[in-house]
Structure 1
Amino acid sequence: MRYFAVLLPMKDADKSQEFRAQHLAFLAAQRNSGQVVVNGKFVDGSGGLVIYRAESFANCEALVKADPYIVEGARKYEIFEWEAVWADNGT
């Protein structure tokens, strides 16, 4: 599996508010399935970041395009393949 950092910059603030619950439910389902590692919003309100696990860029993009924020035009997206380096906490 490969990792992808997906930026979700704000496109339409009203739509982002309107479809927030569906977006969060989508991300929760993706976390539960192992496709999303972590997600969160930027505190300045400019958008958010999602780290996806996927076999390929195309698989990741298919997931991103299923996000209600993208489907409904609330957010734009940028996908970057990411070489993660994890902290070694001794466990």
Structure 2
Amino acid sequence: MAYYAAILHMLDAEKNRDVRPRHIEYLDELDIKGKVFARGPFADGTGGLVVYIADSMEEALTLAERDPHVVEKSRRLELKEWSLL
């Protein structure tokens, strides 16, 4: 298992408000399955961060690309492997 940081850059704040409930529901389901280490918005409103727990970059990318914010293009995904020290 490894950690992957999904940085979700804000693209459309209005659309973001509409999509947010589906985004939260999606992450709640993954959290129950043990696939989310941390999550939350940036204080300056420019997006947010989800740290996924996955077996590979491919799995993390699949999880991140299924996020409603990414699917509906209210936020842009940037994914990086993250080392927990």
Q: What range is the shorter-chain TM-score in?
A: over 0.9
Per the alignment, residue 69 of structure 2 pairs with: 69
**Greater percentage in strand:** 2
TM-score between the two structures when normalised by the length of structure 2 = 0.96
Runs of 4+ in 1 over 4 A off after TM superposition: none
Per the alignment, residue 55 of structure 2 pairs with: 55
Give the Cα separation in 1 of the matches to 2:60 and 2:72: 18
Give the Cα separation in 1 of the matches to 2:12 and 2:56: 29
Cα RMSD after superposing both structures: 0.7
Aligned-partner residue type, residue 8 of structure 2: L
Unaligned runs of at least 5 residues, structure 2? none
Deviation at 1:15, TM superposition (A): 1.1
Number of positions where the alignment pairs a residue of Structure 1 with one of Structure 2: 85
TM-score between the two structures when normalised by the length of structure 1 = 0.90
Return the index of the structure with the highest Cα Rg.
Answer: 1
> Where do 1:21-40 residues align within 5 Å?
21-40=21-40
Unaligned runs of at least 5 residues, structure 1? 86-91
Q: Matched residues, percent identical? A: 39
Deviation at 1:14, TM superposition (A): 1.1
